[in-house]
Amino acid sequence: MEDCIFCKITTKEIPSTIVYENDKVIAFEDAHPVAPVHTLVVPKKHIANMMELTDEDMEYIVAIHKAIQEVAKIKGVDKTGFRVITNYGEDGGQTVMHLHYHVIGGEHLGPKIR
């Protein structure tokens, strides 16, 4: 989608530090990490947010979950643990309107999100 920053990252029009990639998803380092590990996992299809997901998109959800497993191994948090977050809407604090999952870890995060 035009003017979508994460679409431009999937097509490499905008550079990113890629952690993992396959035909369905790309995972790259968050520009403003909130923890030692903070990687974003993004479908290579413009889906605005989790409320826009349709049955046809489920292959992307499967791919995202599998990619999260790969990211966890690559970043070395597969044994220590991590948190996965997707923000939606105003109260959720979504700022980029292309579905993405934050993989956060590398330290003990505690019970609160922040």
- Active-site residue, 100 included: yes
Q: Which of 38, 98, 100, 102 is catalytic?
A: 100
DSSP state of 26: E
Residue 51: which of Zn ion, ligand AMP, none does it interact with, CB under 5 to 8 A by kind?
none
Residue 1: which of Zn ion, ligand AMP, none does it interact with, CB under 5 to 8 A by kind?
Zn ion
Q: CB count, 10 Å around CB of 14?
A: 12
Q: How far apart are CA 77 and CA 103, in angstroms?
A: 10
Q: How far is the CB of 60 from Zn ion (least distance, A)?
A: 12
Q: Please say which residue, 43 or 55, places its beta carbon nearer to ligand AMP.
A: 43
Stretch 87-106 residues interacting with ligand AMP (CB under 6 A): 87, 93-96
List 4, 7, 21, 30, residue binding ligand AMP (CB under 6 A): 30
Q: Which stretch binds ligand AMP (CB under 6 A): 29-37, 56-64, 75-83, 106-114?
A: 29-37
DSSP state of 12: T
Whether the CB-CB separation of 16 and 86 falls below 8 Å is answered with: no
Please report, as a single letter, which amino acid is at residue 73.
K
Q: How far apart are CA 66 and CA 92, in angstroms?
A: 24
Q: How far is CA 33 from CA 26, 46, 76, in A?
A: 17, 23, 16
Where along the sequence are the contacts to ligand AMP (CB under 6 A)? 5, 14, 16, 30-32, 40, 87, 93-96
Catalytic residue set: 100
